[in-house]
Amino acid sequence: MAFNKSYNITILLLIFLVACQEKPKTTTSDKKATITIKDSVPPKEEIPKEEEPFKLTDENAIEFFFNYNKSLKDDKVKITTSLGSFTIQLYDDVPYHKANFIYLTKQGYFDHTQFHRVVKNFIIQGGNSDDKATADKRRAIGRYLLPPDAKKGYKHHRGTISMPSSEVNNPHMLASPYEFFIVVTDPGSYHLDGEYTPFGKVIEGMDVVDKINVQPVGKGDWPFKNIYITKAEVVK
């Protein structure tokens, strides 16, 4: 009996050892099979909406030029035309008109516009054109008018640069910001005082202004031969 008991124990141990050796091992491939595969396609990003370009309007123009003028140190603009060049100095205490003229100059608005109205011994008027490019620039910058500022004591002496009023729906004589005129009359055209806003004066090249003023004109005082502003630039 002791032999049989010992024999049975030996048999059980052998069965146990064999069972342990035959237990399947986890392979590397088996481990990989248990890994969750994540989507490799990145999430679709939202395309940011493009902001509409800034445009001046009657509602925002005054605030814009008020802030623009705060850090504005420039006050001289050189205007080069097809007949020569002249330089304008702008008045500091006519802030909206000064800031407007500097802003348009830096935007390149006046480049390739014309002196479209010439009245002998009176004025030359610039800033307009019959070219489509000028209309496109106005649309890009915005549609707005400026309030008159004619009570600073400036008069329409010869060489004064002033801003005409708009002729469209304008009972308050608001200024047309894209155009300007220069007085040629000697000593001046004082009947314009109080109606329009002087905002600077010609300090160099008045002979060129006079040269423009004697050019032959046709209907509507438009010169027979176009007089272009080839470049307007801020100078020190």
pLDDT for 39 equals 45
Q: What is the pLDDT of residue 15?
A: 47
Q: Which residue ranges make up each domain of the chain?
A: 75-235
Question: DSSP E strands: which ranges in 22-179?
Answer: 76-81, 84-90, 113-119, 123-128, 160-163
The pLDDT, as a whole number, for residue 45 is 65
Task: Walk along the chain (236 residues) and give the pLDDT tens digit of each residue.
Answer: 444 445 444 444 444 444 445 444 444 444 444 444 444 555 566 666 667 899 999 999 999 999 999 999 999 999 999 999 999 999 999 999 999 999 999 999 999 999 999 999 999 999 999 899 999 999 999 999 999 999 899 999 999 999 998 776 677 778 899 999 999 999 999 999 999 999 999 999 999 999 999 999 999 999 999 999 999 999 99
C-alpha dihedral sign at 214, 215, 221, 222? negative
Given this model, what pLDDT does residue 159 score? 98
> What's the CA gap between 173 and 169, in Å, rounded?
9
Buried b / exposed e along 55-91 (16+ C-beta atoms within 10 A): ebeeeebeebbeebbeebeebbbbbbbeeebbbbebb
Structure tokens at 83: 């007949």
Judge contact between 203 and 87, C-beta under 8 A: yes
Q: What pLDDT is stored for residue 52 in this prediction? A: 83
Cα torsion angle, 113, 182, 211, 118, sign: positive
pTM of the model: 0.78
- Is CATH 2.40.100.10 what the domain over 75-235 is classified as, yes or no? yes
Return the pLDDT at 84: 98
Omega of the bond prior to 187 within 30 degrees of 0, cis? yes
Cα distance between residue 223 and residue 227, in whole Å: 7
